[in-house]
Amino acid sequence: MFSSAQLEQVDHEKLAVIETGSGDRTHRTTIWAVVDDGEVFVRSVRGARGRWYQRVLADPSVRLHVGNESLKANAVLSNDPESIERVSEALRRKYRKGSSLDSMLRPEVLPTTLRLEPTD
């Protein structure tokens, strides 16, 4: 489980960077991350076409950088209706209304909802 300080950092920071692997290389992409009920979630704004999302499907081991925290995790597909709605509500709470938020709530991106489970 992520510590309360780590969860608070994710909840506080508007932007996060997800680090994904591809062979011997790592890639960093700026994304949004939210916390709901003590769990960290991310979603691909580009849906299944998102390159970082495709890399996560190939290798779910990721690192999420938020503020001064670097969280090592495994990304788990969480595209069941309950998780999708939880994450959509968390996004609405955290981010200002507008086209950016609307992009994260489009039907075609909802299935890319991922929960990050901490690893050591």
Dump pLDDT digits (tens) for 24-78.
899 999 999 999 999 999 999 999 999 999 999 999 999 999 998 899 999 999 9
The two structure tokens encoding residue 84 = 């999708």
**Distance of alpha carbon 81 from alpha carbon 79, whole angstroms:** 6
- DSSP for 93-120, written as a single string: HHS-SSHHHHHHT-TTTGGG-EEEEE--
The two structure tokens encoding residue 76 = 């788990």
What is the CATH architecture of 4-118? Roll (2.30)
Q: Are strands 61-66 and 69-77 parallel, antiparallel or unpaired?
A: antiparallel
Quick one: which H or E segment has residue 55? helix 51-58
79-111: pLDDT as tens digits: 999 999 999 999 999 999 999 999 999 999 999
14-29: pLDDT as tens digits: 999 999 987 789 999 9
Instruction: List, in sequence order, every beta strand (DSSP E) within the chain.
Output: 16-22, 25-31, 33-36, 39-42, 61-66, 69-77, 114-118
* Amino acid found at 60: P
Q: What is the DSSP letter of 47?
A: G
